[in-house]
Each structure stands twice: as structure tokens, then as C-alpha cells.
């Protein structure tokens, strides 16, 4: 055997040994974080439709952060909060300019968190789509910090 052949064989063995000893996890992509639970489904705000983000409950307001938009809704200005399977007729009949409105879906699973508030003498509506398992932890915190009730459609049992 020539030196060149020996070097190729040793190189191949070294590569095979490294591949066998490096754990398979080192070759995998790192786990992706879960998508944000709240999606802007409609309302009067200039947020892009289907913009996914997070809802923060501060001591004095609800803050929806969805790059590139941040919507702040002070508790003192909120007149209605609903969590329903669709948008109520009470909200849809408001005399405001909806920039986007979610498709009527209905069903027996709550999915729309609607917030109506007044700011600068104008009525604003924010409709967020969120799954029940993501919304449940927020319900009590929102009611506790705001001192206001979230109207929940009675299809589901909340513990």
C-alpha cells in the first residue's frame, strides 16, 4: 500500500469514529420556541391581520405586542371584554370603522377575546384569536387586575 492509500484509510476511519461517537443530538436543530398564542384577528387598529404576538397584563393595562405593533389598552378605558366562539352582535353593531373583521366561525369552542375601549374620545376594538388552553390562565389575572368581568360564553367549563 502506498502512503496516499494509508492516509485515505486512516482519514476515513477517523471520520467514521467521530460520526459514531458524536451524539445524534449534536446534529439536530435546536428546538423552536412555540408560536405566540395570540393572533390579531380584527378590529379598529392598524395591526397587520394574522399578526401573532403576546398579551401582557400589567397593573394598569393590557398590552398586545405583535411586531411591529404594540397596542396598549388601559383598564380604566375598557368598557367590554368577551371571550366567545365568535364576535358578538353587540360588538359587530358598534358604529366604528373595522379595519379587519374575523370570519364567522362559531362552534362550541371559544376562540375570540374581544376588548372594547375608549381612547382619545374614540371607541377602539381589538379582537384576538386564542385557544382555550392558552386563554384560561389569563382570565383570572385580567379580572383580578382590571376589577372588571370578562364575559365568557358558557360552552366550556373553566376551572
| Distance of alpha carbon 152 from alpha carbon 82, whole angstroms | 6
pLDDT at 1: 67
Q: Are 124 and 72 in contact (CB under 8 A)?
A: no
pLDDT above 50 (res 9): yes
pLDDT at 158: 45
Ranges of H-type helices in the chain: 3-21, 89-92, 132-146
- pLDDT band of residue 150 (cuts 50, 70, 90) is very high
CATH architecture of 38-152: Roll (2.30)
| pLDDT, average across residues 23-44 | 82
Q: Name the average pLDDT for the chain.
A: 86
pLDDT above 70 (res 13): no
pLDDT above 90 (res 51): yes
Residue 133 is classified by DSSP as: H
For residue 150 the three cell numbers come to 370578562
Q: Are 45 and 37 in contact (CB under 8 A)?
A: no
pLDDT digits (tens, 9 = 90+) for 81-122: 999 988 999 999 999 999 988 877 666 777 999 999 999 999
pLDDT at 159: 44
Q: Higher confidence at residue 108 or residue 32? A: 32
pLDDT above 80 (res 155): no
pTM (predicted TM-score): 0.77
Amino acid at each position: 500500500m502506498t502512503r496516499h492509500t494509508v492516509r485515505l484509510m486512516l482519514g476515513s476511519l477517523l471520520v467514521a469514529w467521530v460520526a459514531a461517537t458524536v451524539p445524534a443530538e449534536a446534529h439536530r436543530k435546536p428546538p423552536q420556541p412555540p408560536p405566540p398564542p395570540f393572533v390579531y384577528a380584527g378590529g379598529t387598529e392598524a395591526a397587520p391581520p394574522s399578526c401573532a404576538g403576546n398579551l401582557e397584563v400589567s397593573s394598569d393595562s393590557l398590552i398586545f405586542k405583535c411586531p411591529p405593533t404594540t397596542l396598549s389598552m388601559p383598564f380604566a378605558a375598557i368598557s367590554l371584554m368577551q371571550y366567545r366562539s365568535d364576535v358578538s352582535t353587540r360588538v359587530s353593531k358598534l358604529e366604528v370603522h373595522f379595519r379587519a373583521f374575523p370570519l364567522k366561525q362559531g362552534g362550541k369552542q371559544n376562540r375570540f377575546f374581544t376588548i372594547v375601549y375608549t381612547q382619545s374620545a374614540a371607541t377602539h376594538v381589538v379582537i384576538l384569536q386564542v385557544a382555550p388552553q392558552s386563554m384560561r390562565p389569563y382570565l383570572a389575572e385580567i379580572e383580578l387586575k382590571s376589577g372588571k368581568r370578562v364575559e365568557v360564553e358558557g360552552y366550556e367549563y373553566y376551572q
